[in-house]
Amino acid sequence: ETGVTQSPTHLIKTRGQQVTLRCSSQSGHNTVSWYQQALGQGPQFIFQYYREEENGRGNFPPRFSGLQFPNYSSELNVNALELDDSALYLCASSLYGTVQETQYFGPGTRLLVL
C-alpha cells in the first residue's frame, strides 16, 4: 500500500509569483484535502476534492485553487503569492464518506515566499 506523497518537499518563491504543489493520494482513496500550516499553528483546511470537483472550502481566497485528476492525484495552485503564504502545505487523502478510513497525511511541502 502506497502512502500519501507530496512534491516538492521545499520551495522558495518571491512575492507575486505563482506556485503549484502536487499530491498523490494513498492507494484506494478517492478524496484529497489540502491544509495550510503556518509556523507554530495547527493546520487550516483549504479545500477538498472529490470526483475531480471541489467538495468544500475553508476561508481562503480564490487565488488558492486546485485540481484533482482521474487517478485521484491533486494539485494546489496559489497565484499572486504573498509573504503570509509561507507555510507547510499538507495534503490528506481519504475514502469519501467513510470516517472509518479517516484522513492520511503526506509529509508536506514547505513554501517560503520572499
DSSP 8-state symbol, 25: P
Question: Sign of the CA dihedral 94, 75, 45, 113?
Answer: positive
Give the contact letters, 49-88, x = binds to other proteins (CB under 8 A), - = no: ------xx-x------------------------------
- To other proteins, the closest distance from the beta carbon of 80 in angstroms equals 25
Nearer to other proteins, 67 or 107 (CB): 107
Q: For the chain, how many residues are written?
A: 114
Does position 13 interact with other proteins (CB under 8 A)? The reply is no
Query: What gap in Å lies between CA 71 and CA 74, rounded to an integer?
Result: 9
Among 8, 28, 61, 97, binds other proteins (CB under 8 A): 97
Secondary structure (3-state) at 10:
strand
Nearer to other proteins, 13 or 50 (CB): 50
Q: Using an 8 Å Cβ cutoff, are 78 and 16 in contact?
A: no
DSSP tag of 59: S
| Residues in touch with other proteins (CB under 8 A) | 4, 31, 33, 35, 40-45, 48, 55-56, 58, 90, 92, 94, 96-97, 99-100, 102-108
